[in-house]
Amino acid sequence: MLDNWFKTTVLMAGIVVLFATVGMLLGGKTGMLIALIFAGGMNVYAYWFSDQAVLKMYNAQPVDAHTAPEFYGMVAELAQRAGLPMPAVYIINEDQPNAFATGRNPEHAAVAATTGIIRLLSPRELRGVMAHELTHIKNRDILISTISATMAGAISALAQFGALFGGGHNSQGERNVSPVVAILIMIVAPFAAMLIQMAISRAREFGADAGGAEISGDPEALAMALKKIEAYAHGIPMETADAHPETAQMMIINPLTSEGVQGLFRTHPATEERVARLMAMRGNTATGHGGWR
């Protein structure tokens, strides 16, 4: 837990520095001051409200024991096995199979799954996926991933705003930055934000896989689910993810249909390695399919 709090602090500090740098390049000292104030406000907003912002972005719809009894009951059973408070449960009307968890702590957490993943996977496989997402909650990874997604998006917006307006002017009426430099900032700043996200470590996916296998008692089910999702996800577009690539690292499998240069900035470990590690866990976890086969 302390390790994740340290990572969160480093993330926020890194984003503030990046905001200040972009602000200074675009508007000198005044630009840096404005960017620092904006970064401080965004940090506060990201901590308290970024989870709801992400859920709204994906038009996630809340469900309960009456509207989605099997899925909701599955999450409830797994949360109890994990010793977690019951998270809010959402379904996203998207064909691409994927899922994510969000929130600032286990007491204020949510899990979301697409209609595509619910259709594609068997109940046993879906159970493994939701156990993975609950592990992110248990390990408090969700605060890091949600804040990083929100702040990376803000960095991109700031850089694009600066490029569109070509930077500010100094007291002599001269531009603080040329339009060419402003365009370079628009390109480089989002990549810098991605690097900060990556610095928080892709290792948390391996940890969530292992924890999910332990909670569900069925590492093979999660391994099979990952292979299925990988096979289908990149062939089925998810427009929201493509429009907001900073949220890709929240998903169980990278949702971007065409990674392009962003493939150099992968936020997920190779699925083959994740599957291999899970298959090696067979026999080392207590079985617990909970009636979902």
- Closest C-alpha to 151, from 26, 34, 53, 59: 53
Q: Is residue 293 part of a domain?
A: no
Give the chain's domain count. 1
Rounded CA separation 102/110 (Å)? 5
Q: What is the pTM of this model?
A: 0.78
Instruction: Tell me whether residue 285 is in a domain.
Output: no
- 133, 214, 220, 230: the active-site residue: 133
Does the annotation mark 230 as catalytic? no
Per-residue pLDDT 10s for the chain (293 aa) are 556 567 667 766 777 787 777 777 777 778 778 777 877 777 777 778 878 989 999 999 999 999 999 999 999 999 999 999 999 999 999 999 999 999 988 999 999 999 999 999 999 999 999 999 999 999 888 777 666 666 666 666 666 666 555 545 544 554 455 666 666 666 666 666 666 656 555 668 999 999 999 999 999 999 999 999 999 988 899 999 988 877 888 899 989 875 554 444 566 888 999 999 999 998 776 555 544 43
DSSP codes, 133-199: HHHHHHTTHHHHHHHHHHHHHHHHHHHHHHHHHT--B-TTS-BSS-HHHHHHHHHHHHHHHHHHHHH
To the nearest 5 percent, what fractions of the chain are helix, strand and coil? 65, 10, 25
The answer to the question of residue 290 being in a domain is no
Distances (CA, A) of 210 to 35, 171, 274, 275, 285: 40, 58, 9, 11, 10
- Domain residues for the domain of 176 are 2-280
